[in-house]
Structure formats: C-alpha cells, structure tokens
Homo-oligomer: A and B are copies of this chain.
Amino acid sequence: MPKQVDHRERRETIARALWRVVEQRGVAHLTMREVAQEAGISHGALQHYFASRGAMLSFAMDFAAEQTSLRVGRGLQELGDRPHPRDVLRLMLTETLPLHADARATSRMSAAYVLEALHDEDVHARARDGLLQGRALVEQLIRQAIADGHIPPDRDPATETNLLLALTGFTPLIELDVIDTRDVLTAVDQYLDRLFTGEGQQ
C-alpha cells in the first residue's frame, strides 16, 4: 500500500516541521500557517492531512513519544539480554531530558503540548493518557524490582514511581543552563543508588 506509506511519511514530515517551529521560533508561532511554510507545503495541503491545529499537535506529540520510545528501545538493546532495572529506569528518565538534540526536540514539543493542554480538552485528555501509560510502565518496573529484591520492600511503589516521574523537572533547569549535564547525571545516579539499596538481599 504505497499510498498509505506516503501518507504516513508526509505526516511525519509535517510533524518534524512542527517540532522545528517549536524549537526554533517558539510556541507562539505554532500556527498551521507557519508549520505549512516550514514543511514547504501549502496551507490547503496541510489541512488535507490535519483537520485542526489540535489534531496536528496531537500527531506531532504522538510522533515525539514514538521517537522517544525508539531511542529507549535502542538503548535497551545496548543493555543486553537481561538489563538491570536500575539501568532501564535510568535510560527511560534520561531519554526524556533534553540532554541531546533529538531529546531536546521532543522535550520542547512536550512542554509546548502541556501548555496547550491547559486550554484544549482533547489535548489534555490525550496528554494525560500518554503520561498515565508511561507512569504505569515505570510502576510495573518498580514493583518487579521490589519483588526481585533490587529495591527494599518497605518502599511504596506508587510513591517511588511519582518521585521518579517528578525528576523530569530537570528539564527547565537544563534548558536554562542552571544545572549542567554532568551534575544532572550525578544527581540521577545518586537518586537511583539510594532507590536500589536492596541489592544482594534476595
């Protein structure tokens, strides 16, 4: 089905153009007109692919989440057959932080999406669903790590999950050059070391 492939490719091209607008010009310029211009297509052609600005944003955000998952997936392959849960959580956390160009693009897209969600119910619902899915995945990993004796059994899985998710708050601190990459990774490792203190107790 070459036509569907083309369709998908074209939507991805548009999503990447949208990211560039967010990254280079800012969310104030996130209009269908500017995205069409950046993608090198007409406003009418863009409307053929996305009925509304919200639909375009949601696709761009889904695509960003997909790209982040792919990066995490590649990182997991490098961790080998039976990766340690600490390394898996570290990878998931650090790939959502703007520590390199690809992650920066998806991270800025996410920040713009959250602000958009405050004024658009559909975007809010979709953003929430995405985060809840991510949250469930992290909680599952933490529960398993507790069961396997890597994390002490007195830790509450839900609370530990919430704290790990909150550490994405490094994002604005990195973007504004308040904390440098090395110090962010030091803090993340320190945090994970204190979470994974159940080693060898099995």
User: Do residues A127 and B176 form an inter-chain contact, with CB atoms below 8 A?
Assistant: yes
Where the two chains meet, the residues of A that have a C-beta atom closer than 8 Å to any C-beta of B are 23-28, 30-31, 108, 111-112, 114-119, 124, 127-128, 131-132, 135, 156, 158-159, 162-163, 165-173, 175-179, 183-184, 186-187, 190-191, 194
Chain B residues whose CB sits within 8 angstroms of the CB of A159 once the complex forms: 183, 186-187, 190
Nearest-Cβ distance from residue A19 to partner chain B, whole angstroms: 13
- Top 8 A-B pairs ranked by shortest CB distance? A169-B169, A26-B119, A166-B169, A162-B187, A168-B169, A131-B178, A166-B170, A114-B172
Tell me if A27 and B115 are in contact (CB < 8 A). Answer: yes
Determine which of B31, B163, B177, B186 lies in contact with A167 in the assembled complex, contact meaning CB atoms within 8 Å: B163
Copies in the complex: 2
Q: Are B118 and A175 in contact (CB under 8 A)?
A: yes
**Would you give the shortest CB distance from A31 to chain B, in whole angstroms?**
8
Give the contacting residue for A25; candidates B26, B119, B187; CB below 8 A. Answer: B119
Assess the B118–A178 pair: CB atoms within 8 A.
no
